[in-house]
Amino acid sequence: MSTESSAPVALVTGADKGIGLETARRLAGGGYRVFLTARSSERGQAAAAAAGGQFLELDVTSDRSVYLAADCVERAEGHLDVLVNNAGITGPVRENPRDYIASDMTEVLMTNVVGYLRVIHAFLPLLEKSDDPRIVNVSSGLGSFRCFHDRSRAGAFVGTPIYAASKAAINMMTVQFASLLPNIRINVADPGLTATDLSGGQGHSVHDGADAIIAFALAAPGGPTGTFASRDGEVPW
């Protein structure tokens, strides 16, 4: 455990419940000073108290909200070591694929993809002040083209075209930034099917779902960048 004055600093988006909350809890338990962010102040403050972190209001769809949060971290800490982009939505699930409309896609992409980029852009100056900066983008195997075409895999037909497309976009954004920003380790974590509100309570525990995120976040200096992995190992693109 680090002393408070030397403890590394992490920020987790969408951390008031589920995988995000478990990630914040484990980072705090590992000696990090953790900013736990969410849109809801009431839920976020309760979650931060439970996880041992500090609540910071942040809505990934709002420029003002994200940049105010970045300013708070800069004034409090002066740098950021780990950014976990976790906030996301499933979006509407239509029984008939003919019922999907453009606004369905817009809503999901604005949160799951544009929101990730907005947060990265706002916190990049703070990450660049770290001796060992890391970004973990939480995605899904549902964004893997190879997994989708492997019909023997469980879950090959699960998901929606909109949610899966957003995760595929996150994957490509990650590898591009990993190449363009070689001094920051940027990876994609696949939690797998995890029992959260997004999955309707199906899947393994949030502890298991957070394993890949924590592995990337706590990897020793010189660890991988531009990779895609779950708790079971590498995930094909």
- For residue range 78-88, what is the model confidence (pLDDT) as tens digits? 999 999 999 99
Closest CA to 102 of 60, 173, 161: 161
Please check whether residue 154 is in contact with residue 81, taking contact to mean a CB–CB distance below 8 angstroms: no
The owner of tokens 């950014």 is 83
Average pLDDT score over residue span 172-201: 89
Residue 84: phi and psi, rounded to 5, are -110, 110
Q: Does residue 21 carry a pLDDT above 60?
A: yes
Q: Identify the pLDDT of residue 1.
A: 34
Kindly tell me the burial class for residue 46, based on how many C-beta atoms sit within 10 Å of its own C-beta (0-12, 13-18, 19 or more): middle
Q: Identify the pLDDT of residue 157.
A: 53
Residue 53: phi and psi, rounded to 5, are -115, -170
Q: What is the pLDDT of residues 94-140, one digit of tens each?
A: 999 999 999 999 999 999 999 999 999 999 999 999 999 999 999 99
The owner of tokens 């008031």 is 16
- Give the 3-state secondary structure of residue 105: helix
Q: Identify the pLDDT of residue 195.
A: 67
| Residue 192 structure tokens | 């797998």
Please indicate, yes or no, whether the overall pTM of this predicted structure exceeds 0.95: no
First vs last Cα of the chain: how many Å apart?
35
Residues forming a β-bridge with 188: 137, 228
| Confidence label for 5 from pLDDT (cuts 50, 70 and 90) | low
Residue 47: phi and psi, rounded to 5, are -65, -40
Question: Would you list the domain boundaries of the chain?
Answer: 9-234
Compare 202 and 165 and report the one with higher pLDDT. Answer: 165
Q: Does residue 142 carry a pLDDT above 80?
A: yes
Class for the domain spanning 9-234: alpha beta
Q: Does residue 153 carry a pLDDT above 90?
A: no
Please check whether residue 214 is in contact with residue 23, taking contact to mean a CB–CB distance below 8 angstroms: yes
Average pLDDT score over residue span 37-64: 97
